[in-house]
Amino acid sequence: MHKSGSVRLTTAIALFATIVVSAAAAPQEPPYQPQLNQPGKDVQWVPTPPALVQKMLDLAGLTRDDQLVDLGSGDGVLVIAAARRGTRARGIEYDARLVDYSKRAAREAGVEPLTRFVRGDIFKTDFSDATVVTTFLLPSMNLQLLPRFLAMKPGTRIVANTFAIGDWAPDATATIEPCERWCTAMLWIVPARVAGTWRTPKGLLVLTQKYQVVSGSLGDEPLLNGRLKGEEISFTAGATTYTGRVDDYRIRLRASGDDKPMEGRLQAAPRR
């Protein structure tokens, strides 16, 4: 080898050694740690406390057949807790650092295969496949999401930490005691859309609806205590209580004291 070539090689080896040594000596970046109240796109990060996480999943009646989506999933506590119960769960989170943190936490918890963390804006990301939705968002955000919640499949459960969804009354609430902050879980069950006029063997069933509360009439009788729980409907007309199920155009009802179910058909409905 020429002298100049050997000098070049020696210089290159020295340079490489310097890079390796300085890389080893460089201080390691500590792994990212979320900071309480750190700013978020539309709301800051505050985690749901572990006891309320469990209460929310209990209130949802979570099963292994569910698909849970946490809107604004933060450090992943709700998603990971759902996966620990054997349920597939997904988090949608705007902050990429929290997404990476959650993925790592799910891996460390051994539930990675059941979890997914998506970096995205909840207002622009589809979650209509969820059977259970969890939220810990500001009331104004819940209100903005209300039309999307109501358009979900009847029976979908929405569970919130503390904050209401507009004027939609919850179907159930549960509280943790003792507890200082973030103590209440609320459950809403997406009701079927039933408003309209239904032709039944007992006459016309006219239904109006506000969320899960149903009023109207059956024949000449006004309806009392009309309620929906997903696709399940119940009401009283005169001395008879009716319970049954509704799908898009068909209603099947059983009258108290009568073994035979009756079936009704939707005749006219307001635009859905």
Ligand X SMILES: C[S@@+](CC[C@H](N)C(=O)[O-])C[C@H]1O[C@@H](n2cnc3c(N)ncnc32)[C@H](O)[C@@H]1O
Beta strands (DSSP E) in the chain are 67-71, 88-93, 115-119, 132-135, 157-161, 172-175, 184-189, 196-200, 203-210, 213-218, 221-229, 232-237, 240-246, 250-255, 262-268
Please identify, among the stretches 101-109, 121-129, 247-255, 263-271, the one whose residues bind ligand X according to the rule CB under 6 A. 121-129
In whole angstroms, how close is the CB of 52 to ligand X at the nearest point?
A: 8
In whole angstroms, how close is the CB of 182 to ligand X at the nearest point?
A: 9
Residue showing the smallest CB distance to ligand X in the complex: 72
Please identify, among the stretches 58-66, 93-101, 169-177, 194-202, the one whose residues bind ligand X according to the rule CB under 6 A. 93-101
Residue closest to 52 by CA, chosen among 160, 145, 149: 160
Contact between 123 and ligand X per CB under 6 A:
yes
In whole angstroms, how close is the CB of 228 to ligand X at the nearest point?
A: 28
Contact between 94 and ligand X per CB under 6 A:
yes
Measured from the CB atom, is 47 or 155 closer to ligand X?
Answer: 47
**Phi first, then psi: what are they for 144, rounded to 5°?**
-65, -30
Measured from the CB atom, is 60 or 122 closer to ligand X?
Answer: 122
In whole angstroms, how close is the CB of 200 to ligand X at the nearest point?
A: 44
Residue of 57, 73, 242, 246 interacting with ligand X (CB under 6 A): 73
For residue 5, give every residue at least 6 positions away whose Cβ sits within 8 Å of its Cβ, in sequence order, or none.
none
In whole angstroms, how close is the CB of 104 to ligand X at the nearest point?
A: 15
Contact between 93 and ligand X per CB under 6 A:
yes
Residues 41-70 that bind ligand X (CB under 6 A): 41-43, 45-48, 70
- The answer to whether the beta carbons of residues 207 and 253 sit under 8 Å apart is no
In whole angstroms, how close is the CB of 152 to ligand X at the nearest point?
A: 18
For residue 68, give every residue at least 6 positions away whose Cβ sits within 8 Å of its Cβ, in sequence order, or none.
60, 62, 78, 79, 82, 87, 88, 89, 90, 130, 131, 132, 133, 134
How many angstroms separate the Cα of 175 from the Cα of each of 56, 60, 170?
10, 14, 13
- Written as one string, the DSSP assignment of 110-123 is T-GGGEEEEES-TT
Residues 131-190 that bind ligand X (CB under 6 A): 136, 161
- By CB under 6 A, name the binding residues for ligand X: 40-43, 45-48, 70, 72-74, 77-78, 92-95, 98, 121-123, 136, 161
